[in-house]
Structure 1
Amino acid sequence: MANDERGHQLSLGHIDTEEGERPELAEAALEARIEQGVHHSSAAEDYVWPTDQKVREKLEWFQDQKLALMIHWGPYAQLGVVESWALSDADADWSRTGIDWGVNAQEFKQQYFGLNKTFNPVRFQPEQWAELAAEAGIRYLVFTTKHHDGFCMWDSAYSDYKITAADCSYHANRYADICGHLFEAFRKKGIGIAAYFSKADWHNEHYWAKGYPRGDNTWRGPTYEPSEHPEQWEQFVQFTHNQIKELASQYGKLDMMWFDAGWVCEQAGQDIRLGEVIDQVRMWQPGMLCADRTVGGPYENYITPEQCVPSGPLGVPWESCITLGTSFSFAYEDTYKSPREVIHLLVDIVAKGGNLAINVGPQPDGRLPRGAVTTLRGMGEWLAVYGEAIYGTRVCAPYKAANLGFTRKGNTVYVLELFTDETKQVPDLVWIPYTGAVQKVTLLDTGEELVFTADTAGITVNVPGEQKGAAPISRAYKLVMNG
């Protein structure tokens, strides 16, 4: 799906269900929202612009940032399997392909939930992560405070299934409250903070509750029908609200809260009243963005395509979350995209008006994988030279044309010429299909002014200099407009 440019065309909107619909039917309807753990995105035409002026201002800030580091990390890293999803029997066909040690479903789930006892990332150094992120040109962090499995990477007062619990090997380490130390280290580098939070919690006794007809046959939703057991569901709602408020009140400034598990929503009969708690949170976190992904409405402040890039600009704030390796979670012997691949991906996304959240899964020992580190540093080297054409820009027609990406700031248009094959000869004449009144063209990296000719379809630029060695990741041109 990473190379599938379906983007917002995959949108599914809201799920309408008949009153009294059974959980089995709701489960089938929700299959349309998620394929093998990958969430489709909401339709741009259904986007609801926020009315809160501080939120609108924050959205402008968000659209300036362009590049995020997303991190999925938890006890599951020890096994190198997909995060959380293998706990769902309904998702076993795709999520348990790496479970090959001869256990049945119930044994596996017990083993998974017991991974907290051996999770001991003693080589975790938050300051080093933050230093690397700054070097890589990262502008905000999206960190999994809690995935669907319910394991909390902060010192929650509302759960014993957490990194600081006495039965977790890491609980006595000086960095044990991972969210607290990580958020602080990144803030010191001027990097924004987005707290990823799963609305589902498969460890919570009021979500996958015992004693209901579904028994141990797990799926993404609760083990009961919330409308038939409102008291049970309300206990889960209050638990969720308490954890959200805890993160937003005790862990410093949050620029965003990034809510996963889009099936937990009013349309599916699993309403946690997210808007109610976000309105409270914004009293002490004014302007904080909320990404209630795939749900739509006033609390999905930006759209989040996953493992894909839309085919064109969406006209609303959006962010593609895409893995640097092959998996969101850590996978042993994983392979990672090269700096060239990620920069080309970034240019494609930025030219269409979006942000890229590039995901890395840390190792169980607390280090970032060496292959990921190499690519992140390579990204930073490129952005140190060409970041002017990325950060703080907005869309500029024709957006993408062949191997050219276009961005704009005020009276300056940036054209990024991308070279996929490092063995190909770089041309000395470049045709740019931009028809604005161009006054001057310069190379972004050197400032050298270039000779160009214009016609009704665009401009042809003469780029002097002989190619030496491999073709670069890109060249970039500044087009200064008349007036």
Structure 2
Amino acid sequence: MKKLYILTLNLLCVAACYAQEHNMSANYVAPTDELVKTKLQNWQKLKFGLFMHWGTYSEWGVVESWSICPEDEGWTQRKGPYGADYNTYVKAYENLQTTFNPVKFDPDKWVKAAKDAGMKYVVFTTKHHDGFSMFDTKQTDYKITDPKTPFSSNPKANVTKEIFKAFSKENFMIGAYFSKPDWHSKNYWWPYFPPKDRNVNYDPAKHPDQWQKFKDFTYNQIGELMTDYGKVDILWMDGGWVRPKSTIDTTVDWQKAITFNQDIDMPRIAEMARKKQPGLIMVDRTVAGPYENYTTPEQQVPDKPLDHPWESCITMGNSWSYVPGDKYKSANEIVTLLIKIVSRGGNLLMNIGPGPDGDWDPVAYSRLQQIGSWIKVNGEGIYNSTSVAPYSEDNIYYTKADKGNTIYAFVTSAKDQVTLPASITLHLQDINKVKNVVLLGSGKKVKWKADKGTVNITIPAALQTGSGLTQAAVFKVQY
């Protein structure tokens, strides 16, 4: 029966990641705290990070949290043996806590794969909208370390702490994903009323005591993460409908549905969090203002550079959470995404969903290995780079070294094996004299001629099809 349930829901998970795209907020407000500004600048140089959505929902192979949300959307549908009745479904969903036992959990294995792939920071879902805490919170028993959860007896039961510790050892920046809404909390979805949609199910203005309890619950959970889990660099907060009503953008469809003022007192949270973690980058997604230190276009790449720090969060497969048989992007697709994003001045946060056994799909490891092989040859054009006009032309994308006079031209390929044309023309603005042009990873010279910002590169026949390069070729132009 359980296997049938997984199969019937898989297609919904595939569709979900596209249906839940988040609009970026406008009117960016730059931070004023010098420590935050410095950390944000350092984060912008890292370019490539690992995202992980993981929770009890991985057992069923269903979309993370959303199937318990009483909205009639494609990604909230309930199928399988419990799907006919909402309350029965939610009870069965929450009962997953009693069977969740990811015995193959080994964060050191993840660190090695991510590091070899060239990733430099990690963001982990400490708690998604369903409220199940993947850390040892004292605020609720709906958590991985509660005795009701089989994995609680494992020495590594506090998975958030283990993940942060393992990645910190390899000098990754550490990010804590945290959902502001909590659909398990009796102070967010108050049992006195049935839940109506993703929002709080009562008017906080009418029941201020109830809302204050939820604010304190949120404050205390974030306080725990900032206190007991080592160095935390990024607090990545999701669930943008929990926001002051004055910040609602009525041009965005999903924000039009926010009925109540859900002000969670972000100034209070920020003051506490940054006292415990000086320089903490805060990402209050889609809520423009002093607590959205960078924006997060989801499953998309901006057409042009943005005037502020940003990161595209994109799934390696089709779903954010684990889905059996998920279709993963090819290494070529991922490298191309990374190049496009970096050419526009952003970072790529690539998501991999661990399975119910506590490990990734073998395909994910294979993709990371392939990406790492490419990064080892061409990473100098990725890290510590900035965008530079004309940014891109056809299948050529440009970056500029943060220091020195060097531009990198990435020639993307439709196939894993790179085939180069007989000649390539680069149009580089404001460059009068070129000193040298090198094809990274080839070990062979190419002929070039430069004139007032135009660089014509002639590629020998042997290099056109026999370079041995994969995913994308990179020309290093020094001027």
TM-score (norm. length: structure 2) = 0.89
Deviations 1:134-164 (A, max 9, x none): 1111100010000000000010011110000
Check the 8 A contact 2:51/2:349 in 1, yes or no.
yes
The whole-number CA distance in structure 2 between the counterparts of 1:144 and 1:294 is: 18
Kindly state the Cα deviation for residue 220 of structure 1 after the two structures are TM-superposed: 1.1
Question: Any stretches of 5+ residues in structure 1 without a counterpart?
Answer: 1-33
1:123 to 90, 101, 104: 104
The whole-number CA distance in structure 2 between the counterparts of 1:35 and 1:365 is: 26
More divergent stretch after superposition (407-416 vs 89-98): 89-98
Check the 8 A contact 1:136/1:379 in 2, yes or no.
yes
Root-mean-square deviation (CA, aligned residues, Å) is 1.8
Deviations 1:231-280 (A, max 9, x none): 10000000000000110011000010000000100125000112211122
The whole-number CA distance in structure 2 between the counterparts of 1:115 and 1:294 is: 31
More divergent stretch after superposition (215-224 vs 335-344): 215-224
Matches within 5 A, 1:318-337: 318-337=310-329
Check the 8 A contact 2:82/2:92 in 1, yes or no.
no
Kindly state the Cα deviation for residue 376 of structure 1 after the two structures are TM-superposed: 1.1
SS of the residue corresponding to residue 453 of structure 1 reads strand
2:446 paired with 1:450 = yes
The whole-number CA distance in structure 1 between the counterparts of 2:289 and 2:83 is: 45
More divergent stretch after superposition (170-179 vs 425-434): 425-434
Check the 8 A contact 1:70/1:360 in 2, yes or no.
yes
SS of the residue corresponding to residue 269 of structure 1 reads coil
Deviations 1:300-329 (A, max 9, x none): 000000011111100210000000000000
Q: Cα–Cα, structure 1 residues 135 and 91, in superposed 2: closer, same or farther, change >3 Å?
A: farther
Q: Cα–Cα, structure 1 residues 351 and 188, in superposed 2: closer, same or farther, change >3 Å?
A: same
> Match of 2:9?
none
Q: Cα–Cα, structure 1 residues 305 and 99, in superposed 2: closer, same or farther, change >3 Å?
A: farther
* Matching residue's letter, 2:470: P
2:211 paired with 1:233 = yes
* Matching residue's letter, 1:202: W
SS of the residue corresponding to residue 228 of structure 1 reads coil
Deviations 1:161-187 (A, max 9, x none): 000001011100011000011110111
2:268 paired with 1:273 = no
Q: Cα–Cα, structure 1 residues 324 and 97, in superposed 2: closer, same or farther, change >3 Å?
A: farther
Check the 8 A contact 1:433/1:457 in 2, yes or no.
yes
More divergent stretch after superposition (197-206 vs 104-113): 104-113
2:393 to 363, 384, 401: 401
Kindly state the Cα deviation for residue 90 of structure 1 after the two structures are TM-superposed: 1.5
2:352 paired with 1:360 = yes
Q: Cα–Cα, structure 1 residues 357 and 386, in superposed 2: closer, same or farther, change >3 Å?
A: same
2:66 paired with 1:88 = no
Check the 8 A contact 1:199/1:264 in 2, yes or no.
yes
More divergent stretch after superposition (456-465 vs 295-304): 456-465
Question: Any stretches of 5+ residues in structure 2 without a counterpart?
Answer: 1-16, 246-259
* Matching residue's letter, 1:280: M
Kindly state the Cα deviation for residue 463 of structure 1 after the two structures are TM-superposed: 2.4
The whole-number CA distance in structure 1 between the counterparts of 2:354 and 2:399 is: 33
> Match of 1:255?
233
> Match of 2:427?
433
Check the 8 A contact 1:335/1:371 in 2, yes or no.
no
* Matching residue's letter, 1:412: T
Deviations 1:331-372 (A, max 9, x none): 111010111100000000000000000001111001111111
The whole-number CA distance in structure 1 between the counterparts of 2:333 and 2:18 is: 25
> Match of 1:36?
19
The whole-number CA distance in structure 1 between the counterparts of 2:437 and 2:142 is: 58
The whole-number CA distance in structure 2 between the counterparts of 1:99 and 1:382 is: 42
More divergent stretch after superposition (282-291 vs 101-110): 101-110
The whole-number CA distance in structure 2 between the counterparts of 1:171 and 1:251 is: 17
TM-score (norm. length: structure 1) = 0.88
* Matching residue's letter, 1:302: Y
The whole-number CA distance in structure 1 between the counterparts of 2:80 and 2:364 is: 25
Deviations 1:98-122 (A, max 9, x none): 5466532221111111111110000
Check the 8 A contact 1:64/1:391 in 2, yes or no.
yes
Q: Cα–Cα, structure 1 residues 98 and 373, in superposed 2: closer, same or farther, change >3 Å?
A: farther
> Match of 2:475?
477
* Matching residue's letter, 1:402: D
The whole-number CA distance in structure 1 between the counterparts of 2:443 and 2:144 is: 51
Check the 8 A contact 1:351/1:396 in 2, yes or no.
yes
